[in-house]
Amino acid sequence: QVQLVESGGGLVQPGGSLRLSCVASGSIFSILHMNWYRQAPGKERELVSSITSIGSTIYADSVKGRFTISRDNAKNTVYLQMYNLKPEDTAVYYCRTDVNFVAVWGRGTLVTVSS
């Protein structure tokens, strides 16, 4: 069974950077399509970025050019590098994958962008 654990959130000033990490348990990480979602206060959860098993990526329009998703299969880890953070990026960031058509979520890591 795959479990996901996020880390790397925190408080950062506008224009700052953070790198989020999501570590997956188990031995099938390399074949998993991995996703980062976020949920801001009072808003619905939204897809931020995805990376396939072969490294193809997609991004939400709101983060294109500022965020980069990557993966290290040797470490069972997917990363979200965030640059030029804005107050509207404040949210809980979640890692998600699907195993046998069942969604697996991490517990999230809070990112707060504020001066």
* pLDDT single digits (tens) 55-106: 999 999 999 999 999 999 999 999 999 999 999 999 999 999 999 999 999 9
3 state DSSP class of 82? strand
| pLDDT given at position 104 | 97
The answer to whether 52 and 76 have CB atoms below 8 angstroms apart is: no
Residue 24: predicted pLDDT: 97
Q: What percent of the chain has pLDDT over 70?
A: 100
Torsion of CA 3, 46, 54, 9, to 10 degrees: -60
Q: With bands split at pLDDT 50, 70 and 90, how would you rate the model's confidence at 1?
A: confident
**Alpha-carbon distance 20 to 89, whole Å?**
13
* Nearest-5° Cα angle at 48, 42 to 50: 145
3-state secondary structure of 30: helix
Does residue 17 surpass a pLDDT of 90? Answer: yes
Contacting residues for 34 by C-beta, under 8 A, at least 6 apart = 22, 24, 50, 51, 69, 71, 78, 95, 96, 97
Q: What is the mean pLDDT of the chain?
A: 97
Quick one: pLDDT band at residue 111, thresholds 50, 70, 90? very high
